[in-house]
Amino acid sequence: MKRVLKFLGYSLGVIVLCVAAAALYFQIKGIPSFEPGLPADLADLHVSRDSAQVAEGARIAAMLCKKCHTDPSTGKLTGTIMGDLPPMFGQVVTYNITQDSVHGIGAWTDGELYYLLRTGKHRDGSWSPPFMPKFERLADEDVHAIIAWLRSDDPALAPDPKEYPPNDYNLFCTILSNTLFSPPPMPEKAILPPDPQDPIALGRYLANDMLGCYHCHSGDLLKVDNVPEKSFLFYGGGAEMKNEAGEVVRTANLTPDPETGIGRMTEQQFIDAVRFGKNPRGGTLTYPMLPYPSLSDEEARAIFTYLKTVPPIHHPVDRYKSAGLNQ
């Protein structure tokens, strides 16, 4: 008996040592970094700043960038604390993306911005871990539009030196960034926008490639895949988030299942929910479901048409269980 216990004691000791060694390894290794420099074809990228391109970039950025990078006290894009992150991630801040040449992106080239938006990689080889999304499937013309907007005279982007100290990622983030997450590869050829006459293709592009609705609306934020359809419970809902009061809210099932998804929702109810945050059962949808007023009716309708083609998942979601609200 004693010998068995002794053996167990040793085994446990070895396991604890291994875990401690792995933790130390990741702590020292830090966030992965990569070969410095830019891919050759980005060295002389010059995006046109014509007014239509800037306006389109501003429309996309309103849906994709502003909620994370805006300082709520000034309305400027000097960065802020990401308040929604579960505590295990520690404190993460977003960075200054105003045109300030020291603290913001004023000194970046168009190619550097393109590289960061696609892969999260910087010219010096450092890498922005998963909190800064990577837009690996966005059409080239949409990435160019965002860059044109970043260079524009939008007052929210005027040079401003305010900034937080750089992120000091905790062990949990460091381990995730060395295991689960890695930079997406640069696209091998130009990415064309979808055919606007094909509502399913347009809806799939907007929902999956541009706005990432499936990130929140699949079953688990940590089981979202780079190939959207491979995400756990793809559009089946149930991922846990916090509303503004810090209470748990779970995402809605957006598959066409008639009982638990959007199978019985009318097109107009869907458009009103997505564009204006109207809850089909009355009232307003709960944060973090933010409305997308910059989408046109036609685009919201295309997302609905696409979602109707996603495999239905029968998955009842107790959306407000802990928040004590009625569904």
Contacts to ligand HEC by CB under 6 A: 61, 64-65, 68-69, 82, 92, 94-95, 97, 105, 116, 128, 131-133, 146, 167, 207, 211, 213, 215-217, 241, 249, 251-252, 254, 270, 273-274, 279-280, 285-286, 288-289, 292, 303, 319
Q: Which is nearer to ligand HEC, 11 or 35 (CB)?
A: 35
Q: Which is nearer to ligand HEC, 13 or 263 (CB)?
A: 263
CA dihedral 203, 205, 210, 211 (to 10 degrees): 30
| Token digits of residue 15 | 């396991």
Amino acid 42 reads L
CB of 45: closest distance to ligand HEC in angstroms? Answer: 15
Helical spans, DSSP H, in the chain? 2-29, 51-64, 66-69, 110-119, 140-150, 171-178, 199-204, 213-217, 267-276, 297-307
CA distances to 9, 226, 253 from 34, in Å: 41, 20, 38
Q: Which is nearer to ligand HEC, 32 or 133 (CB)?
A: 133
Residues 6 or more apart whose Cβ sits within 8 Å of residue 283: none
CB of 189: closest distance to ligand HEC in angstroms? Answer: 22
CB of 212: closest distance to ligand HEC in angstroms? Answer: 6
CB of 15: closest distance to ligand HEC in angstroms? Answer: 32
Q: Which is nearer to ligand HEC, 213 or 233 (CB)?
A: 213
Q: Which is nearer to ligand HEC, 156 or 207 (CB)?
A: 207
Q: Which is nearer to ligand HEC, 6 or 67 (CB)?
A: 67
Cα Rg of the chain (Å, integer): 22
Distance CA 167, CA 23 (A): 19
Neighbours of 254 (CB within 10 A): 28
CB of 12: closest distance to ligand HEC in angstroms? Answer: 37
Residue 240 per-residue DSSP state: E
CB of 100: closest distance to ligand HEC in angstroms? Answer: 10
